[in-house]
Amino acid sequence: MSAVAPSFEEKVSAYAHPEVLVSTEWVAEHLEDPRVRIAEADEDVLLYEIGHIPGAVKLDWHTDLQDPVERDFVDAEGFARLMESKGIGPDTTVVLYGDKNNWYATYTFWLFKLYGHHDVRVMDGGRLKWEQENRPWTRDLPTPAQTSYPVPQVDQSIRAFREEVLRQSEEGKPLIDVRSAAEYKGELIHMLDYPQEGAQRGGHIPTARNIPWGTAANPADGTFKSAEELRRIYAEENGIRPEDGVISYCRIGERSSHTWFVLTYLLGYPNVKNYDGSWTEWGNLVAAPIEK
């Protein structure tokens, strides 16, 4: 006789910060809540137009969240104006969801925390679970009322840059390469099906452990694995301990934000940074140390 799966409340109660996750049921109950703004952030930026949760606004990682010229995020002034256009105030509860195990939802969550937004959450399971439960989609575009959002301060403490990554490697401190095994071994210089986002050299940063980001999610419905399963993956099997300062990376920082989220908010690791330069920067740096 198979064991009964724990309820959502039972599962999240074991996380270090259960408040950052909400269920599909919670979202369905708060679609009309003026204090809540649902936002979709997908890897496939066309999905929103095909159908989205009623009332949800779109946050396009390519056009909304990135500087149009420099390789960097939208600046603090741009972030504030984006929030105002999406009907988000500094006290708004923002709930993010998306495709592919909430890959870009956690990337957007990381960016929100970079700019200090207090109450931002992720819908466990994302688009996949919402669809599996036959919950409603719409193509209607919301028209949120303009808000006022003060220009925020930037919290760089959760972001790693290449000089710090080099020191982390040289000192043998934890680095997590969340890419596929083939990328880690240098057999691919880009993520599968993403040849336009490659680098001059393949391989990985010396001393980095390969823990693919997707191992933290349940493939059946895109939800996060239990705290017990996550501790086994990171602490027991790979020796990544809470007392260690950790840096995660991938190719442009999106997949590694998922691991950053898991370690920081689900397991409660106090010092985790995301290296968003990742392999497209490191693999193109002249004389940067690489292993295969």
Q: Which residues are catalytic?
A: 250
For residue 73, which phi and psi values (nearest 5 degrees)? -80, 165
H/E run at residue 95 = strand 93-97
Rounded Cα–Cα distance for residues 113 and 122 (Å): 13
3-state secondary structure of 177: strand
Radius of gyration of the chain (CA): 19
Residue pair 204/177 in contact by the 8 Å Cβ criterion: yes
Provide the CB-side half-sphere exposure for 95 (13 A, CA): 27
Rounded Cα–Cα distance for residues 35 and 217 (Å): 29
Q: Where are the alpha helices (DSSP H) in the chain?
A: 8-13, 24-29, 47-50, 76-85, 103-114, 126-132, 162-170, 181-184, 227-231, 254-261, 278-282
Provide the CB-side half-sphere exposure for 269 (13 A, CA): 25
Angle at 106 between CA 13 and CA 239, to 5 degrees: 65
Q: At what angle do helices 254-261 and 103-114 cross, to 10 degrees?
A: 80
Rounded Cα–Cα distance for residues 131 and 51 (Å): 10
Chain position carrying tokens 């392999």: 279
Q: Where are the alpha helices (DSSP H) in 202-264?
A: 227-231, 254-261
